[in-house]
Amino acid sequence: MQGRVRRLVAQGEAEQAVLVFKRASSGYGRNHELLFFLDRGMVNHYAGRYTESIQDFEHAKGLYETLFTQSISKKALTWIWNDYAQPYRGEDFERAMLNLFQAMNFVALGKIDEALVEARNVDLILRRFNQQYGEQANVYKDDAFVRFLMGILYESTGRSYDVNDAFVSYRTALEIYEGDYATFYDLKAPLLLKENLLSVSQWMGTSDLKQYQSVLSDVSVKSMAERGDSAQVYVILYRRMIANKVQSTIFLPGIDGYLTRISFPKYRNVFQSSKEMVLEAKNVQGEVFRSEFQQAEDLNVIAKKNLEDRRLRIAAKAVVRPVAKQLVFEKIEDKIHEKAGDTAGELVRYAGMAYVAFSEEADTRSWETLPAEIRVARLILDAGTYEFFVEGERIGSLAVMPGDQRFLTHWTMK
């Protein structure tokens, strides 16, 4: 069922995917409950069913919490046979994305304070995951786009005391983009972030203003007062679909003649176009205003790096599990030898060797309806009614007034 949902989303048929979920009485099946609610929440989000998406994502959060905190002893033996014997717990970055897209649900409904709560929780969630890993902590420990989004949301409240929080969010976002994102994901800070940071710094008269003006000297900026005299429309663009996981396998000689197969999950290598994309707004007079989208998040690269970071944790389990299975079969073999003789014992041995070699299966489950990347564009417009287009496709219309700060989201495979 998940494959069908993914195909429908890839074809731009979010409403059809919604119908698939409505007809699904048993979800994705045993041990896949979390994935069911993640995918259904994402499909509802793409379809503009934000209230339904909020409900799905809240259910997913509860499942995450249960799976994260449940006693390890209750699952101590299931991993010996196969990871699929356990409920899917999700990747760390997927848990962060759950809060991000929940925030976008609230943004779409105009509930900015609720959106900020979701965005702020991303930092707490990632810190909680990394604390349990110690020296094997993930590179993905904070999200630059989430910080960038928080800055935009703080500005949009219209409350003067939120401007300082906007500044802190923009500054932190820039640090993450120029640090971890540039180093590990080859993603630079969007120009729009730099413009907003300078604008807010000027308004606040911060001690860092001269430093930012020097470092960002090539960035032209409108003051907060100038921006406040017009309407600002942000469009968050979700582009393409995240790579899904496949299995990578190697065969190794085991002990006592057993053949050992070790399997690892990996993300597919997919072609990711760097095509420039443009946002257009057309007013009733026929005038057209344009802004280029800027990449703010590359989920494909984050996903691959997140999996790479936990490779040692995966490898430890992948190596130990075949040995544990082999020991189980050797005990059975010894008992059969004693009770039924050598021939029966040898048959059990060969059966055990085959099972150990071919029962190993990497856990390739993942949240497959996530976009591959997120881009952001902004238009500063005079009061009026506008239709908005992305690459010629109409995505909605808005009537705006000076001082408005409005948001639209759109998903595309282009």
Query: How does pLDDT run across 284-341, given as a tens digit for each residue?
Result: 999 999 999 999 999 999 999 988 887 766 655 555 565 555 555 556 656 665 666 5
Q: Determine which helix (DSSP H) or strand (DSSP E) holds 241, and give its type and residue range.
A: none
What pLDDT is attached to residue 72?
42
What are 2-16's pLDDT values in tens digits?
A: 889 999 999 989 999
Written as one string, the DSSP assignment of 57-73 is: HHHHHHHHHHHHHS-GG
* Those residues with Cβ within 8 angstroms of residue 214's Cβ, 6 or more apart along the chain or in another chain: none
pLDDT at 79 over 60: no
What are 39-77's pLDDT values in tens digits?
A: 999 999 999 999 999 999 999 999 998 887 764 444 444
Provide the pairing of β-strand 245-253 with 231-239: unpaired
What pLDDT is attached to residue 273?
76
Higher pLDDT, 103 or 78: 103
**How many CB atoms within 10 Å of residue 56?**
25
pLDDT at 34 over 90: yes
Report the residue count for the chain.
Answer: 414
* Those residues with Cβ within 8 angstroms of residue 30's Cβ, 6 or more apart along the chain or in another chain: none
Q: Is the sign of the CA dihedral 125, 190, 209, 175 positive or negative?
A: positive
Alpha carbon distance, N-terminus to C-terminus of the chain: 25
pTM of the model: 0.86
